[in-house]
Structure 1
Amino acid sequence: MSADTIAYLGSPGTYSYQAAISMFPDAEHVGLRTFGEIMETVEAGEHRTAVIPIENSTSGRIPDVHRLMLSTEMAIVREDMVRIEHCLIQAHSGPRPVTDVSAIRKLYSHRQGFLQCSGFIEAHCRDAEQIECVDTATAVRQVAELGDAEAAAIGSSVAAQVFGGVVVERDIADQKNNYTRFLALEKPALDPDYGDADITTLIFQIDHQPGALIEALAVFRDAGINITTLETYTISEETALPTFYIDIGGGLEENAVQAALRALENKARYVKLLGSYVASDVRNASSGFLPVKSVKR
């Protein structure tokens, strides 16, 4: 396998595939089965870039990916926001697709698809058995191969085109402006160029005592830096003390960001830089992701 390939989760037709194509349209793309496999193969040099989802505007962060961020040695080099337009899809061949979705007895999707379409499921096919698949494209493929009029999948219209499914209902997610934020990660460059970066991501850990978080966050206030994302990790062996994932406005080449990070190192048990990169221009109220207020603006 070429080391210049882009690794993503699942198969052609997944939203991860769409993100990989959007970010790297001219590259070769390889679908893998798990987030762990994606990260491991890129770290081993088998692929150049990992494209993974980090959070969704409806269902929140992707826990498995957040956990992997604690241990990875790779750097975030890019982000992209992909609009998630979940569709109800049935088989093209076999019996004619049902027009009454309440007649569906088996519903296939990824767990995120079920979460993001829970309102539609409750209203229209609450009694259907939910069969979890490794990704939404696999769900569509299985339903297309079954040819069962009482089976349907939640996935993208792209997957329906790829695997020969019929879109019965479009845009069934609970939130119509439903976006997933994807990150591209690569092995750190020897001499990275942060000249255009306007967002920086890091993880830091503090003592478990009153005021520790306020003191840590104050370094960004004092430097005039805006915080876009702040997430806490649950307790584990790796995170026995309060541990946080944070996105801040500003690139690493900016003096204010450098000063804030130096100050944070004096307040935190440890600070791990995950990357400094260009923020997506889809960050707005419609996508559900806060726009970056960089210190350079």
Structure 2
Amino acid sequence: MTDREIKDEDNQKQTGDDSSPLSPLRGEIDRIDERILELINQRLEIGKKVGEIKKKKGSQILDRTRERMVIERLSQLNPGPADESLIQYIFNVIITATREIQKPKTIGYLGPLASHSHIAALHYFNHCGEFVEQPGFFDIFNNIKRKELHFGIVPVENSIEGAVNYTLDLFAEFEIHITAEHYEPISHDLLSITGELKDVKTVYSHPQAIAQCKNWLKKHLPHAIVMETSSTSNAALMASKDEQIAAIASGKAAHFYNLLPVASKIQDRGGNITRFLVIGGDRPERTGDDKTSIMFATNHTPGALFRALSPVNRAGLNMVKLESRPTRHYNWSYHFFMDIEGHIEDEIVFQTIEQIRSQALYLKVLGSYPIMAKPEILQ
């Protein structure tokens, strides 16, 4: 007798074969389990709709009185043999799951309010969700890892300034996947309480924003004092407290800080766009128009990078980005970040990445996600 035959015989002794009197009972249990599963999912779907209505009305998700009434009603209806503690346990689990599904998705962004990251999050998520200000990029990654945020949105490159290196470094540190990309045009407005140019005596903003508007400032406010601050949002906050202060900030900041535009689009150069990455959440399905991001490290030997990139050329794939960053672990050792067109589920993309892996010391797939069309001013 073979090992497989012995194993099959043991299984039959333990569970009974098809002729066992247990078989129809087990079949009935399977059908009941399937029905229970279907009903639980139906209940969760209805619970989700209840949550949407609560959100529109401004009601709290947590309703202990209603939950207690549900448990008490079911306990009274229970004919047995399930005892009361079992009923309470099962439906407490279901109610907890319903409460969780009613919660709006939480989205972390680099604060403060009305920062470019905040605006990008509002635009990408269509103002739907709970937007949670975070003090730093590390906090966004870390809170997604700890499941305290569903999503985060982080800048990865700017059309003028180039790569956002700290974001790239964090992908090396955390096991976080990319689920989408978003391009946000960056423009600067001059905002103040009165909206009058003649009232402006001091201008505050982030150093980068000031540098991008220096010609406009020289022409229109040659005698104003220009002061640097930590962010364009902080500048808007300061402007909201003094009629003689103006802020260089986004147009959206006017709404958040009750300011009026003195002038719009005062940047000296157009085409300033930041590419953001959405991280966390579920992995998106293949659309046929996708991008895959990977990071890898190679040996510090002549031709190592060329050998790692050769599979992309042989496959005829379009490489749309390649960046390098020091690994921080070894001197003169680098991580390479690469975007290629296609989805990891595409056979040619999968095989190409595996060939790169064979040439690399280390390789991580950061995510496959739909390609977002760039704004017209970039084309």
Q: TM-score over 0.5 for the alignment?
A: yes
**TM-score of the pair, normalised by structure 1:** 0.82
Q: Give the structure 2 partner of residue 138 of structure 1.
A: 234
Query: Structure 1 residue 61: deviation in Å?
Result: 1.6
Alignment correspondent of 1:184: 278
Are 1:78 and 2:180 an aligned pair? yes
Q: Calculate percent identity across the aligned residue pairs.
A: 28
Equivalent of 1:107, from 192, 204, 209? 204
Q: Aligned in 2, Cα 1:116/1:196: closer, same or farther, shift over 3 Å?
A: farther
Match of 2:315 among 223, 245, 250: 223
Among 14, 22, 28, the alignment partner of 2:130 is 28
Larger radius of gyration: 2
Please name the residue that 1:269 is paired with: 361
Whether the aligned pair in 2 keeps the contact of 1:8 and 1:17 (CA below 8 Å) is yes
How far does the alpha carbon of each residue in 1:74-113 deviate from its partner, in whole angstroms, 9 at most, with x for none? 1000111111121122233xxx74349xx7544222x543
User: Residue 243 of structure 1: SS of its match in structure 2?
Assistant: strand
Amino acid of the residue matched to residue 167 of structure 1? P
Which residue number corresponds to residue 9 of structure 1? 110
Q: Are the aligned partners of 2:165 and 2:325 in contact in 1 as well (CA < 8 Å)? A: no
In the alignment, the residues of structure 1 paired with residue 240 and residue 276 of structure 2 have an alpha-carbon distance, to the nearest angstrom, of: 28
Flag the 1:173–1:237 CA change in 2: closer, same or farther, 3 A.
farther
Give CA deviations for 1:195-231 in whole Å, capped at 9, x if unaligned. Answer: 5561011111112222111111111001111111111
Q: CA deviation at 1:114?
A: 3.8
What is the rounded CA distance, in whole Å, between the counterparts of 1:254 and 1:141 in structure 2?
Answer: 48
Which residue of 1 is the match for residue 197 of structure 2?
A: 98
1:140 alignment partner AA? A
8 Å contact kept, 1:201–1:248? yes
Q: For residue 160 of structure 1, what is the amino acid of its counterpart?
A: A
Q: Indicate the structure with greater strand content.
A: 1
Q: Counterpart amino acid of 2:359? A: K
Pairing 1:169-248 to 2, within 5 Å after superposition: 169-186=263-280, 193-196=285-288, 198-234=290-326, 236-237=328-329, 240-248=332-340
Aligned counterpart, 1:291: none
2: distance between equivalents of 1:59 and 1:211? Answer: 29
Q: Report which of the two has the higher share of helix.
A: 2
Query: Contact conserved, 1:39 with 1:72, CA < 8 A, in 2?
Result: yes
1:37 corresponds in structure 2 to 139
Q: Which residue of 1 aligns with 2:17?
A: none
Cα distance, 1:123 vs structure 2: 6.3
Residues 65 and 253 of structure 1: is their aligned pair in 2 closer, same or farther, counting only changes over 3 Å? Answer: same
Separation (CA, whole Å) in 1 of partners of 2:365 and 2:330:
16
Kindly indicate whether the alpha-carbon contact (under 8 Å) linking 1:3 and 1:45 is maintained by their aligned counterparts in 2: no
Contact 2:288 2:342 in 1 (8 A): no
Q: Give the gaps of 5 or more residues in structure 1.
A: 289-297
- Secondary structure in structure 1 of the residue aligned to 2:308: helix
Aligned residues: 276
Distance verdict in 2 for CA 1:105–1:65, change over 3 Å: same
Counterpart of 2:197, as a letter, is V
Secondary structure (helix, strand or coil) at the match of 2:262 reads strand
> In 1, Cα distance between the equivalents of 2:121 and 2:221?
32
CA distance in structure 2 between the partners assigned to 1:250 and 1:112 by the alignment: 35
The unaligned stretches of length 5 or more in structure 2 are 1-99
Matching residue within 183, 186, 190 for 1:88: 190
Distance 2:308 2:108 in 1: 35
Deviation at 1:188, TM superposition (A): 6.3
Give the alignment's TM-score, normalised by structure 2: 0.66
